[in-house]
Amino acid sequence: MTNYNYDNLNYNQPDLIPPGHDSDPDYYIPMYFAAPWVIAHGYRGTSDQYSYGWFLDNVSQSYTNTGDDAWAGQKDLAYMGAQCGPFDQHFVYEAGDGLEDVVTAFSYLQGKEYENQGLNIRSAMPPKYVFGFFQGVFGATSLLRDNLPAGENNVSLEEIVEGYQNQNVPFEGLAVDVDMQDDLRVFTTRPAFWTANKVGEGGDPNNKSVFEWAHDRGLVCQTNVTCFLKNEKNPYEVNQSLREKQLYTKSDSLDNIDFGTTPDGPSDAYIGHLDYGGGVECDALFPDWGRPDVAQWWGDNYKKLFSIGLDFVWQDMTVPAMMPHRLGDPVGTNSGETAPGWPNDKDPSNGRYNWKSYHPQVLVTDMRYDDYGRDPIVTQRNLHAYTLCESTRREGIVGNADSLTKFRRSYIISRGGYIGNQHFGGMWVGDNSSTEDYLAMMVINVINMNMSGVPLVGSDIGGFTEHDKRNPCTPDLMMRFVQAGCLLPWFRNHYDRWIESKKHGKNYQELYMYRDHLDALRSFVELRYRWQEVLYTAMYQNALNGKPIIKTVSMYNNDMNVKDAQNDHFL
């Protein structure tokens, strides 16, 4: 198992597949979240059980072997290792010797009372609405149907909301993707996502933001906030303030490597080329997250979004997802498509490539130490998403609590992180697809994340990416996704929609479009709302004492008869 935060589209990106292995998702492939944490659970004889945990607190790339026999002589070995940095190990056990006892003890090891509140001891307590059902789409082109631009398969958020409400499908709110932003500029909005088709300030009954419009219909919203700022010759306000305060990651290394720049500058900035998929791309600057003044600057930018009605945050592309860029190539070059032998013959870990993130040699501020010195990003790769989420939670959400317009509590759903991320919010497990394999992995991922201390987790219901050209998730598979997903903590249907401007994705995936199966789908969403109180109560218990929301069946009453039912059964 490899712990290395990675933007792993479909969990099977070719640059991660070792020679001789097939491209199906498997345990050795790094994912968006890094958890160098292993639990051993077994029995002595017929009834005397034992459980203990092993945590390697190392934020560089780390690995774990638990008896894989792919390499000779390792079948009975269990070990951990790391690419660099301290080897800080913790062995975790509890007097009860049960599996749940170890998980609860591990949450105690991570427990911190942020924000001076007695409730958020083991994890941040979300508002109840987070346990509702949400719809998201990458490819919604306007708020109102009257403002839809011309183009095949374009859809407005108004049509989506009406589709659910007209069919009486319970529906909590919208996940508003980057389509809302002004040409990928983070913390901005486009005119088409205001009722008067012009950007406003909020609070105007004649020109409401998408969030205010949703509030009028009893809904709440999250929106996609990425961790980088589009770079251009004439920078927009947020980018300009980052430049003026010199808070961006510099193009520095211990060996004075030239990482390349663009004519748009700044000349001393580290610049990467970001790929959202479907030809949606931009050059970007990156805040230096380890600096405390960066956290405050970042948090201050949320005030405007909250003041126009945003309810909670969708923290996306936390790695971030840069295109592979070889040293010496122009910044905007996707070297991964042209380099001979990419990815295995020209192994990206050798430093010639950035491997969908910063080049490993780039110096960034290390917030773990009091002097805030700078070290290569390779030494703290898995801390990037954690620090981003911490800044959003503490300086963004808590620091701007008075700007929230509907509820007094907010939350984060992020795509990546590290052990302890539950102090800032929950997670979804990245860009999955529409096959039975991803349905099975949804359950496995949620169980394992709960056993790692992160309770509020889910997958994109129906799968995010296209699998069979433009065809949506099949009705039978969508039914099974909804049946399983309605019982899990985070319940959101989210997909990449094919529209003419990007020619990428599926034709549709909203539940109301499955007319022949709608009654059954509706019944399971209704079940979710009966189940909502159970999840909310379980989350309260987790925030206080660390008990997981979703438990593997092998946790049940320390019962040895179910000790092997781990991946496909949960409580």
Could you read off the pLDDT of 233-266 as tens digits, one per residue?
Answer: 999 999 999 999 999 999 999 988 888 878 888 9
Q: What is the pLDDT of residue 26?
A: 72
| Percentage of the chain modeled with pLDDT above 90 | 67
What is the secondary structure of 63-90 as a DSSP string? Answer: EEEES--SSTT-TT-EEEEESSS---EE
Residue 203, phi-psi category: left (phi > 0), alpha (psi -120 to 50), beta (remainder): left
Residue showing tokens 């497990």: 429
Task: Please compute the mean of the pLDDT values over residues 61-81 and round it to a whole number.
Answer: 78
N- to C-terminal Cα distance for the chain? 25
| b/e per residue 15-46 (b: at least 16 CB within 10 A) | bbbeeeeeeebeebbbbbbbbbbbbebeeeee
Instruction: Supply φ then ψ for residue 276, to 5 degrees.
Output: -85, -15
pLDDT band at 103 (very low <50, low <70, confident <90, very high): very high
Write the CB contacts of 79 (distance below 8 Å, at least 6 apart in sequence).
64, 65
Q: What is the pLDDT of residue 158?
A: 98
Q: What is the pLDDT of residue 107?
A: 93
Q: Give burial (CB, 10 Å; 0-12/13-18/19+) of 195.
A: buried
Nearest residue to 343 (alpha-carbon basis) of 14, 10, 111, 11: 14
Cis peptide bond prior to 191, omega within 30° of 0: no
**Position 404: which residue type?**
L
**Position 59: which residue type?**
V
* Residue 317 contacts residue 281 (beta carbons within 8 Å): no
Residue 453, phi-psi category: left (phi > 0), alpha (psi -120 to 50), beta (remainder): left
* Whole-angstrom distance, CA of residue 285 vs CA of residue 261: 11
Q: What is the 8-class DSSP label of residue 199? A: -
Task: Express each pLDDT in 42-52 by its tens digit.
Answer: 777 766 778 89
* Whole-angstrom distance, CA of residue 143 vs CA of residue 191: 9
Task: Please compute the mean of the pLDDT values over residues 282-290 and round it to a whole number.
Answer: 94
* Residue 361 contacts residue 378 (beta carbons within 8 Å): yes
pTM of the model: 0.95
**Position 472: which residue type?**
P
Q: What is the pLDDT of residue 365?
A: 95
Q: Is the dihedral of CA 335, 336, 341, 343 positive or negative?
A: positive
- Taking all residues of the chain, what is their mean pLDDT, rounded to a whole number? 90
Model confidence at 357: pLDDT above 90: no
273 vs 463, residue with greater confidence: 463
| Percentage of the chain modeled with pLDDT above 70 | 91
**CA gyration radius, the chain:** 23
Task: Express each pLDDT in 117-145 by its tens digit.
Answer: 667 789 999 999 999 999 999 999 999 99
Cis peptide bond prior to 266, omega within 30° of 0: yes
**Position 133: which residue type?**
F
Q: Give burial (CB, 10 Å; 0-12/13-18/19+) of 330.
A: exposed
Model confidence at 116: pLDDT above 70: no
Task: Express each pLDDT in 159-200 by its tens digit.
Answer: 999 999 999 999 999 999 999 999 999 999 999 999 999 999
Q: Is the dihedral of CA 535, 536, 538, 543 positive or negative?
A: positive
* Whole-angstrom distance, CA of residue 232 vs CA of residue 262: 9
Q: What is the 8-class DSSP label of residue 99? A: H
Q: What is the pLDDT of residue 305?
A: 98
